[in-house]
């Protein structure tokens, strides 16, 4: 699966453009600080967030793709300063949400509690992003350059985490070769490949 097509798919699944998507395609170099403040504990927690989004089944989950390290690299190298700040602040906010919902940290929560929390955050993120887009619409439209000089505020932190989980997993070796059907390049062209319901997409 080409990265451009994957980014389009993720945008549909998360309800908005992939943060840093254009940078992922052209090469990641931003003017933001290069130490985004990730700790070993942060990375371990992001591994578990990713694993809750894409759990291990008959194929490896997000943790097998070292999704926490992937998020650290992408946020540090590809996000703007404002996006970095929103993401790293969001790690603490997610833990606070877990304490409020379950009386314990995300890492101490059961898989079922983690899943329920992320379902609630998905709804919260959708509402947050919708209100943000509505409030910024008039400012973007009134811009003298047609919105080219307008800088949107970062989306909800959970949207970033989910986007990076999907992007990191399906571009990783476990995701591309085991979760998807892998055909080594160059391969051959088959114009009428048979398909049956439930077949995996090609990696």
pLDDT digits (tens, 9 = 90+) for 9-29: 666 666 666 676 555 555 566
Residue 199 resides in a domain: no
Q: Name the pLDDT band for 137 (thresholds 50, 70, 90).
A: confident
Question: Which pLDDT value is given to residue 53?
Answer: 95
Residue 201 resides in a domain: no
Answer yes or no: are the C-beta atoms of 94 and 201 closer than 8 Å. Answer: no
Residue 195 resides in a domain: no
Phi, psi of 181 (to 5 degrees): -85, 120
Residue 188 resides in a domain: no
- Looking at the 3D structure of the chain, how many domains does it have? 1
28 versus 185: the higher-pLDDT residue is: 28
Distance between CA 24 and CA 13 in Å, rounded? 18
Phi, psi of 89 (to 5 degrees): -65, -35
Residue 191 resides in a domain: no
Distance between CA 117 and CA 60 in Å, rounded? 22
Residue 197 resides in a domain: no
- 100-126: pLDDT as tens digits: 999 999 999 999 999 999 999 999 999
Residue 194 resides in a domain: no
Structural domain for 110, as ranges: 3-179
Question: Which pLDDT value is given to residue 136?
Answer: 86
pTM of the model: 0.74
Residue 68 resides in a domain: yes
Burial code of 144-180, b = ≥16 C-beta within 10 A, e = fewer? eeeeeeeeeebbbbbbbbbbbbbbbbbbbebbbebbb
55 versus 192: the higher-pLDDT residue is: 55
């Amino acid at each position: 699966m080409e990265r451009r097509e994957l980014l389009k798919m993720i945008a549909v699944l998360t309800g908005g453009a992939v943060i840093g998507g254009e940078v992922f395609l052209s090469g990641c170099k931003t003017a933001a600080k290069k130490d985004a403040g990730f700790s070993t504990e942060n990375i371990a927690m992001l591994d578990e967030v990713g694993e809750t989004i894409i759990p291990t089944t008959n194929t490896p989950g997000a943790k097998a793709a070292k999704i926490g390290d992937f998020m650290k690299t992408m946020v540090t190298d590809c996000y703007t300063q404002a996006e970095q700040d929103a993401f790293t602040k969001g790690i603490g906010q997610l833990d606070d949400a877990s304490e409020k919902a379950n009386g314990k940290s995300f890492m101490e929560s059961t898989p079922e509690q983690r899943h329920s929390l992320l379902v609630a955050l998905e709804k919260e993120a959708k509402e947050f992003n919708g209100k943000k887009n509505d409030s910024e619409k008039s400012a973007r439209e009134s811009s003298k350059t047609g919105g080219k000089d307008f800088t949107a505020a970062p989306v909800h932190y959970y949207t970033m985490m989910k986007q990076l989980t999907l992007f990191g997993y399906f571009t990783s070796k476990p995701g591309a070769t085991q979760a998807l059907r892998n055909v080594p390049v160059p391969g051959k062209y088959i114009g009428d490949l048979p398909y049956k319901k439930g077949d995996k997409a090609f990696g």
